[in-house]
Amino acid sequence: MYLYLRSRARAGDLASASASSAQVESLIGVPGHPTKPFFFPFISRGNRPGELVPTFWRNRNIAGSWSPVSLARQPASAWLVSADAMAYTLPVDHAERALQSLLFGQRVSALALGAYFLRNDGFVVTGEAAADDVVLGLRRKFDYPSETDEEFDLLFSAKPPVDVEWFEAVDVVIRGDDDPDDGQADDEEGGANA
């Protein structure tokens, strides 16, 4: 929610931010669960070796978790809402507060976060695709231009955790608007997929 609120504030539109916005839902929506359409992969609920934490999956009522009133009741996120808990706010020192209260003083992998938040996005790269392209995609999605490098570097580690090939080539079928989707490839172009 912090990255969404930060991007709305940078756009000058924090007043219209909503926990149930299409933008928030697109960030956490994952198909597969029969009744809970949202997935929170960045949550800690104790040590349960060998099993998925059931609270990763969330019901449709996101506002119940991330509305200003709900955030105000959580010590780690109360600083994201106004004193009366009726609106979102972003204090000047928001990056430092996010690092301390949301990330527990440890930077998060921009590659891991980018891979999750960009999982449904397509993007074009020039040359060979690399892990840096995912980091750049994350920066663009959440409005971290170069003048915000200090803030970005405070919160994120952009170095890949291991040296592996992060992309594999896939065939991409490009169809015109007037082409019927008959399952036949008309024009194929190589691409990359994370």
pLDDT score of 38: 76
Full DSSP string of 41-95: -S------TTS--GGGEE-S-THHHHSHHHHHTSTTTGGGB-TTSSSB---TTHH
How far does Cα 172 stand from its chain's mean position?
24
Which residue, 62, 92, 63, 88, is CA-closest to 77? 88
Which residue, 144, 142, 155, is CA-closest to 23? 142
Q: Which amino acid is at 89?
A: T
pLDDT score of 158: 87
pLDDT score of 54: 62
In the chain (194 residues long), the average pLDDT of successive 10-residue segments reads: 93 90 81 76 59 66 80 91 92 95 91 85 76 90 94 91 71 68 46 48
pLDDT score of 46: 52
pLDDT score of 50: 61
Q: Which amino acid is at 95?
A: A
pLDDT score of 60: 73
pTM of the entire structure? Answer: 0.74
Q: Which amino acid is at 48?
A: R
Spans of all domains in the chain: 1-105, 107-194
pLDDT score of 186: 43
